Amino acid sequence: MTNLDTQLEPAAPDQRFRRLTPFWKWLLIALSVLSIVFSMYQVFNLGRYTGFVPIENQYYYAIVALLLPTAFIVFPLGGKAGREGMTWYDTGLFIATAGICLTFVIQAIEIVDNGWEFSAPEDMQYLSLALVLIAIEATRRTGGGIVTSIIVLFAVYPLVAGDMPGVLEGTSESLLDTVAYYALSTEALIGIPTRAFAGLVIGFLLFGVALQYTGGGQFFLNLAFALLGHVRGGPAKVAIFASGLMGSMSGSVITNVLTTGALSIPAMKRIGFKPHMAAGVEACASTGGVLMPPIMGATAFIMAINLEVPYRDIVVAAVIPSVLYFFALFMQIDGYAARTKLKGLPKIELPSVRETLKDGWYYVAVFALLIYLLIFMQREAQAPFYATALLLVINQFHPKHRWNWDKFVDFLVAVGRLFAELAAILVGIGLIVGSLSYSGKIGTLAFELLQLAGNNVALLLLLGALASFIMGIGVTVTVAYIILALTLAPALTDSGLSTMGVHMFMLYWGMLSYITPPVALGAFAAASLAQANPMRTGLESMRLGTIIYFVPFFFVLDPGLIMQGEPLHILTVFSCALLGVVVLSASLQGYLYGVGDLTTMGVMQWPVRLALLIGALAFAMPGNDVVGMNNLELFIIGTVLTGGAAAVAFLMRKVAAPA
């Protein structure tokens, strides 16, 4: 298929990065490679062969020392693109950052042995102040002004806690004591975000970049077109399949939209999808991809560290929610295509499944190895390194995708840029954790929230959804999750809800801003590709992604939907949820299987579709004390409403048929 043969380039927004001279480019590569080597040294416990085993904080300081300075190489001061070479002040910041971080590496054992986070020497306090300021500037360059402003607000809180009103009141601390805690404890700059990055994320980022640069994105897109391109609404179903896989690799909604959307959106428009509908499909599929196992982005790794559970537990918990989301999206697209009589692309224009798999079978093999190591061998930290090694070795034996020296260098530069960006953001986010930890406000806030809600679980969940959504509008999902996991999550878990369910709830609601106006960054990015109205695209994304607004409530109320509980119970609630998704899709798109197009019923379609909507929620909603009904009662309600609506629609269409 000629229009799919062009290799997908990874969607690296080069305009954000400084154009580097050879010296600085190779320094970036060297530091990135050293961080990978040191990560492997720690993950594979190679110290047993060399005799050098770094203590925990020494390892984290070393990773920060290798990667935080690179933020000043990659990102210019004002965010202006295309600056050639380094400026004198960025060179100074690079040297200062490297020197300060190296001092912390050397002093790591002293820091632990002498408890310097609470009683640091004066010189270490001033170095801590410098490191905190450097981390904030690095975060500003990589994460933007909104994220940085929130971090600064949290970071200064311990300094002014004594002057704060109500529940925020605390004991004010001195500047030097506060920054010493931030830099020298394992609760701030090298807290949960940095520990997750150094322990798990590095390997998965390396794997994701390798997969894209070896042609994995093109393979999955071709495979999606080969399997689904010819069916009704085929290109939209291709977007679901391809974007789901690409999003799991990249962990970025915007990157996902810009890569797969560049081909899927024009193909959707070609067969008759309206521009805003095509863009909405891509935005929803790309958002869901970030929530799909096995990779899921950096936030999932932070969740694993925060909950002190193996990463595979997060992967397993995410399976059913992601299946429900993509199944709902698929059913809505199928209903829309059936109602509007949209066909697929001609088979002659599509690649064959056989040839596609023959060309890229090893991508499937590498994914299989990754999942096997994650789930069955329980080697979540080592798995991506094995998978990356296998991928790169096989790739060099494949004449179509084999790298030359220039491609290898481009790959290393892409890895360096990604490491620099994420490491800087996560180090900065650590200040939020440090502030709440140092001020002792985590437990207090949880208690106050419980009091505010009057121990009403439903009200707490609504409060959590609203807080997660608002946080997700202004900051990255990772920032939103960390703040809410420290403040709101304890209140929800204390009310008797599943800990895993609560934290997954925060993650899902934090993602919703990507498809929900007025922000809807994923929808607006897709709208630019489709030349569609951004706000209309955002509203269409909301409708297509409707199920994602409900799924978090379902699994937080019944842990069976995150694979916790007896197998029979899990199967029962999953089956009911799938049935609910089918009926919900029929309501939203106005097409009921066995009946047909509901929109031809005129004004009578609305009570029928409303009954289907309520029936769908009754099917999918788990029964418990919070809901006030059990599963059987909800199922009966869903059956009565859905059956009644279907009967009315069938009779009305039958009566109208002769006319």
- Of 147, 175, 194, which one is at a domain's C-terminal end? 194
- Residue 331 placed within a domain: yes
- Of 386, 403, 420, which one is at a domain's C-terminal end? 403
* Tally of domains in the chain: 3
Instruction: Quickly list DSSP for 474-541.
Output: HS-HHHHHHHHHHHTHHHHHHTT--HHHHHHHHHHHHHGGGTSTTT-HHHHHHHHHHT--HHHHHHHH
Do residues 306 and 388 both lie within one domain? yes
Do residues 147 and 209 both lie within one domain? no
Quote the crossing angle between the two packed helices 567-589 and 546-557, to the nearest 10°: 160
- Of 165, 194, 223, which one is at a domain's C-terminal end? 194
Residue of 298, 300, 326 lying closest to 313 (CA atoms)? 300
The boundaries of the domain holding residue 55 are 14-194
User: What single-letter DSSP state applies at residue 328?
Assistant: H
Residue of 488, 446, 432 lying closest to 156 (CA atoms)? 432
pLDDT tens sequence across 325-364? 889 889 988 988 898 888 888 888 888 888 888 888 888 8
- Residue 471 placed within a domain: no
Quote the crossing angle between the two packed helices 311-340 and 534-544, to the nearest 10°: 110
Q: Is the pLDDT of residue 562 over 70?
A: yes
What are 572's two structure tokens? 């029962």
244: how many CB neighbours lie within 10 A of its CB?
24
Cis peptide leading into 294, omega within 30 of 0?
yes
- Residue 86 placed within a domain: yes
Q: For position 448, what pLDDT does the model report?
A: 67
- Residue 509 placed within a domain: no
Do residues 126 and 248 both lie within one domain? no
What is the rounded average pLDDT for all residues in the chain?
Answer: 85
Do residues 23 and 96 both lie within one domain? yes
Do residues 653 and 618 both lie within one domain? yes
Do residues 26 and 158 both lie within one domain? yes
Identify any residues that bridge with 592 across adjacent strands, giving them in sequence order: 596
- Residue 524 placed within a domain: no
- Residue 459 placed within a domain: no
Do residues 203 and 181 both lie within one domain? no
**Within 13 Å of residue 472, how many CA atoms lie on the same side as its CB?**
28
Do residues 326 and 261 both lie within one domain? yes
pLDDT band at 453; cut points 50, 70, 90: low
Do residues 169 and 56 both lie within one domain? yes
Q: For position 10, what pLDDT does the model report?
A: 41
Could you tell me if 611 and 645 are in contact, meaning their C-beta atoms sit under 8 angstroms apart?
yes
Q: What is the dihedral of CA 242, 505, 368, 396, to 10 degrees?
A: 60
354: how many CB neighbours lie within 10 A of its CB?
9
pLDDT band at 2; cut points 50, 70, 90: very low
Do residues 171 and 243 both lie within one domain? no
Q: Which of 86-95, 349-358, 377-386, 467-476 has the least mean pLDDT?
A: 467-476
- Residue 631 placed within a domain: yes
Instruction: Compute the distance between CA of residue 644 and CA of residue 659 in angstroms, rounded to an integer.
Output: 24
- Residue 503 placed within a domain: no
Between the alpha carbon of residue 432 and those of residues 59, 150, 190, 231, 466, the distances in Å are 21, 8, 12, 49, 20
Do residues 189 and 205 both lie within one domain? no
Do residues 154 and 63 both lie within one domain? yes
